Amino acid sequence: MMRAIVAKRVDAGTADISEISELAVAGGYEAVDSLTQTREEDSAYVFGEGKIAELAALVADRQADALIIDNEVGPYQMYNIGQAMPDGVEVIDRFTLILEIFGQRAQTRKAQLQVELAELRYELPRAAAKTSLAKRDERPGFMGLGEYDESREKDIKAQISNIKAELDSIAQKEQDRRERRRESGFDLVALAGYTNAGKSTLLRQLAAELSVDENVDKHPDLDSIAESKDMLFTTLGTTTRRATLDRREILLTDTVGFISNLPHWLVESFQSTLESVYRADLVLLVVDASESVQEIREKLVTSHDTLYERNEAPIVTVFNKIDQVEQAELADKLSALSGLTPNPITVSGLTGEHIEELKHRIEAELPAWERERLLLPLTDETMSVVSWIHDHGYVSEENYENDHVSVSFEARPPIVEKARAKAAELHPVEPN
């Protein structure tokens, strides 16, 4: 594991390096020390020149392999900082680190494309800067930014266009799959929230009774069980599992966690993944109840900005990790955040506390099902229709009398419509 110094500059207040330290670990670095500064950004170095000298000395003293800066660093600033560091030390800004982590986690074609798209969008303005500066000064490699190529900017734009087209194709296939799942009687529930809020652990609790292998025939696209390690971005792509409630079966999807202070270009690169949230029937917004009120408030505001922009489904706020919080402290937090979280639910994904209550809440918040009663003639095909209704809805009553069977059930409107059509195709057995 490479050793790294983490550093952060803020305009005012106290710099918090907890998240960047976690990101460093997720990226495979050991954060051996840190340094922060409160001042306006220096156009040449991000930090003040004196602080850069301190950083160089700290890097040398701790024999660090990398300097990770929790800010966005421009190409010229990156060069200047690199020149001030000991030889061989890599300088990494916040977004380069995030892209490194995404690249390590990307296993599916969709995830790999999204990472590549984000990397290209990050590189585009830097390629333009190299070309512009080199043209102006007629010095290839000016300021150590590398050899310039006027065609590189065009190449990047062409690659971005091609990747977006392929992602659009994947998104359409996923939307078709979602509609087929709904037509099969499933409600779609998405887990959203910041990294390390415990979404993957919660997914395992809600769907723990199901082995993915049991659904290979019916849903061959279901991913493997979501990991629940205490690490950021354990799941980069989406993980979908089937869960059984009292009256319904749902497909529950865990998505990549939100991260604070992300630029628009990076969020846009992962719109395809966020579609699983935007297109859900219900969203569970998971927050870490053990964090401070201020941290939770800031994350809720950012999450709401992301979710309410395009999402029409109801959103239920789930305070997770209550096993790490005293009851009185939890009550104070809920009270302080009541304006942002009307009627939240509290759970522990680790211990399973209140998981049953969460299941009841999910069922109550999902779109209402339609009720129907069908009178079916007893034919050779009748039992297969009755079995289909059981598989796709909730049967409350089933009675057999002489030459017919009555079935009372609730289901999604498309399922009710299909059940009616299947019933209409049944023909009574003609008497001998």
Q: What is the mean pLDDT of the chain?
A: 82
What value does the mean pLDDT take over residues 239-255? 85
Query: Could you report the per-residue pLDDT of 315-349, keeping only the tens digit for each?
Result: 999 999 999 999 999 999 999 999 998 899 999 99
Is 321 known to sit in a ligand binding site?
A: yes
Is 332 known to sit in a ligand binding site?
A: no
Is 305 known to sit in a ligand binding site?
A: no
Is 313 known to sit in a ligand binding site?
A: no
Is 387 known to sit in a ligand binding site?
A: no
Measured in Å, how far apart are the chain's first and last C-alpha atoms?
Answer: 82
- Position 112: which residue type? Q
Is 255 known to sit in a ligand binding site?
A: yes
d(Cα 136, Cα 133) in Å, to the nearest integer?
5
Q: What confidence score (pLDDT) does residue 150 get?
A: 65
What does DSSP say about strands 239-244 and 249-254: parallel, antiparallel, or unpaired?
antiparallel
Is 346 known to sit in a ligand binding site?
A: no
Is 11 known to sit in a ligand binding site?
A: no
Is 432 known to sit in a ligand binding site?
A: no
Is 320 known to sit in a ligand binding site?
A: yes
d(Cα 124, Cα 118) in Å, to the nearest integer?
10
Is 145 known to sit in a ligand binding site?
A: no
Cα–Cα distance list, 422 to 104, 311, 387, 403 (Å): 49, 34, 12, 18
Is 161 known to sit in a ligand binding site?
A: no
d(Cα 201, Cα 320) in Å, to the nearest integer?
10
Cα–Cα distance list, 50 to 45, 118, 364 (Å): 10, 33, 59
Is 200 known to sit in a ligand binding site?
A: yes
Among 200-214, 283-297, 415-429, the range scoring the smallest mean pLDDT is 200-214
Is 359 known to sit in a ligand binding site?
A: no
d(Cα 56, Cα 73) in Å, to the nearest integer?
17
Give the pLDDT band (50/70/90) at residue 214: very low
Is 193 known to sit in a ligand binding site?
A: yes
Query: Could you report the per-residue pLDDT of 297-308, keeping only the tens digit for each?
Result: 988 988 888 787
d(Cα 143, Cα 80) in Å, to the nearest integer?
8
What does DSSP say about strands 29-38 and 2-10: parallel, antiparallel, or unpaired?
parallel
What value does the mean pLDDT take over residues 390-416? 88
Is 254 known to sit in a ligand binding site?
A: yes
